[in-house]
């Protein structure tokens, strides 16, 4: 069974207990009580019919009549007239699991703050769904419930990439570039290579040359691959010897310390903060001191980094900005469709905390 969580911006509403007993009031009833036309009521309460002038005294009379009758604007009816639901869908998680707002890294909470703020700014609601209903995702994406979709999945699979490319619904993909072919699709991501680059520069400045890159094997898809490839490309440009041999793939935390020691690493860049926390706790439990014997850098840099001991140095991915830009881009695609996909790439920063030090 599918479950949904919906965030909705405030709507214009008047309601009284007596009105609840009578049933919902209509624009015509408000107009009759105020002694004006329904068009005037729409102008005062809904901002419609901009060409009609209404005196302040008449507007007060309309609002008082609406309050007395318990009038409540029917937002759904208005959206149906405009052929819009004013609803943005967000597909997220890995294998249909729901990302936790209270999860350790706080990554998803930061991203959603931006998405919700961007949607509310334009009067849209946001619905979270682990997957869409229907016989298949393709059917559900065009069943009329959403005006557009934000596709957030850190491990987008080949079949999902095909669905994205063939989508007829306005669509924004976070963390993956938009497909080169296909219109009315946008991609929003951080500059992974630039972010990895400033992490490597920081470690080189501290005297490290044996720098590794750590990632769980299950995440060797999507953005995990992008960051690994960015590490290899930047490390080669910076003259770091044999960077391929300094990749740390693991399926279990128990594999970390033997791998790090066998490679002689003095520093590790992790593909995200959650992985960095796993590395940090595991090496400490096995007697390695951080940062004295091993420097560790994460990627995301949410407030979670300050809860670790020592606090985690991390590449600052602009998560809230990415979420807001995704929502704004999607509203733009809904209101002004485009024939060619485009991408928004945002720069990263580096928040230096206590998990890195000189060799």
> What ranges make up the beta strands (E) of the chain?
5-7, 87-91, 125-129, 148-152, 171-174, 185-190, 211-216, 247-250, 267-270, 295-300, 313-316, 342-346, 349-351
The residues of the chain that CATH labels 1.10.260.40 are 17-81
For residues 328 and 313, give the distance between their C-alpha atoms in angstroms, rounded to a whole number. Answer: 30
The residues of the chain that CATH labels 3.40.50.2300 are 87-190+319-348, 192-317
Q: What is the third-level CATH fold of 87-190+319-348?
A: Rossmann fold (3.40.50)
For residues 194 and 225, give the distance between their C-alpha atoms in angstroms, rounded to a whole number. Answer: 15
Structure tokens at 200: 């490597």
Please choose, from the candidates 160, 162, 173, 266, the residue with its C-alpha nearest in 3D space to the C-alpha of residue 211: 266
Please choose, from the candidates 242, 225, 245, 234, the residue with its C-alpha nearest in 3D space to the C-alpha of residue 202: 234
- Burial of 164: CB neighbours in 10 Å, binned 0-12, 13-18, 19+: buried
What is the pLDDT at residue 134?
Answer: 47
What is the pLDDT at residue 17?
Answer: 38
> Which CATH number is 192-317's, of 3.60.15.10, 1.20.1050.10, 3.40.50.2000, 3.40.50.2300?
3.40.50.2300
Is the pTM for the entire model greater than 0.85? no
Helix (H) or strand (E) segment spanning residue 205:
helix 192-205
Structure tokens at 132: 């869409």
> Which CATH number is 17-81's, of 1.10.260.40, 3.40.50.300, 1.10.150.80, 2.60.40.420?
1.10.260.40
What is the pLDDT at residue 158?
Answer: 66
Q: DSSP letter at 233?
A: H
What is the pLDDT at residue 14?
Answer: 36
Task: Please report, in tens digits, the pLDDT of each residue of the chain (359 residues total).
Answer: 444 556 666 543 333 334 444 557 888 888 999 999 888 888 888 766 556 788 889 989 999 998 888 887 665 555 545 557 888 988 864 445 556 677 667 888 899 999 999 999 998 999 877 555 444 455 556 667 789 989 886 555 666 667 777 777 898 999 888 877 767 889 999 999 999 999 999 999 999 999 999 999 988 877 889 999 999 999 999 999 899 999 999 999 999 999 999 999 999 999 999 999 999 999 999 999 999 999 999 999 999 999 999 999 999 999 999 999 999 999 999 988 888 889 999 999 999 999 999 99
């Amino acid at each position: 069974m599918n479950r949904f969580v919906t965030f909705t911006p405030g709507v214009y509403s008047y309601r009284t207990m007596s009105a609840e007993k009578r049933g919902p009031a209509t624009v015509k009833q408000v107009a009759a009580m105020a002694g004006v036309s329904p068009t005037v009521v729409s102008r005062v309460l809904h901002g419609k019919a901009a060409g009609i002038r209404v005196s302040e005294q008449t507007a007060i009379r309309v609002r008082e009549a609406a309050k007395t009758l318990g009038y409540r604007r029917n937002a759904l009816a208005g959206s149906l007239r405009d052929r819009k639901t004013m609803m943005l869908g967000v597909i997220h998680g890995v294998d249909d699991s729901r990302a936790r707002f209270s999860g350790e890294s706080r990554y998803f909470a930061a991203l959603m703050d931006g998405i919700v703020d961007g949607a509310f700014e334009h009067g849209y609601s946001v619905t979270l769904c682990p997957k869409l209903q229907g016989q298949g995702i393709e059917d559900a994406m065009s069943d009329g419930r959403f005006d557009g979709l934000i596709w957030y999945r850190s491990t987008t699979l080949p079949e999902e990439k095909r669905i994205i490319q063939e989508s007829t619904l306005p669509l924004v993909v976070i963390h993956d570039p938009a497909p080169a072919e296909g219109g009315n699709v946008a991609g929003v991501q951080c500059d992974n290579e630039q972010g990895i680059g400033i992490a490597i520069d920081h470690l080189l400045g501290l005297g490290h040359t044996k720098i590794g890159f750590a990632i769980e094997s299950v995440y060797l898809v999507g953005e995990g691959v992008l960051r690994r490839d960015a590490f290899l490309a930047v490390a080669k440009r910076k003259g770091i010897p044999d960077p391929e041999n300094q990749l740390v793939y693991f399926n279990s935390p128990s594999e970390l310390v033997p791998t790090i020691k066998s490679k002689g690493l003095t520093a590790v860049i992790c593909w995200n903060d959650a992985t960095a926390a796993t590395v940090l706790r595991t090496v400490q439990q096995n007697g390695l001191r951080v940062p004295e014997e091993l420097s560790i850098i994460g990627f995301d840099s949410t407030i979670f980094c300050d809860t670790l001991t020592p606090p985690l140095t991390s590449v600052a991915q602009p998560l809230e900005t990415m979420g807001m830009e995704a929502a704004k881009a999607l509203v733009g695609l809904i209101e002004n469709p485009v024939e060619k996909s485009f991408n928004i790439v945002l720069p990263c920063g580096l928040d230096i905390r206590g998990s890195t030090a000189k060799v």
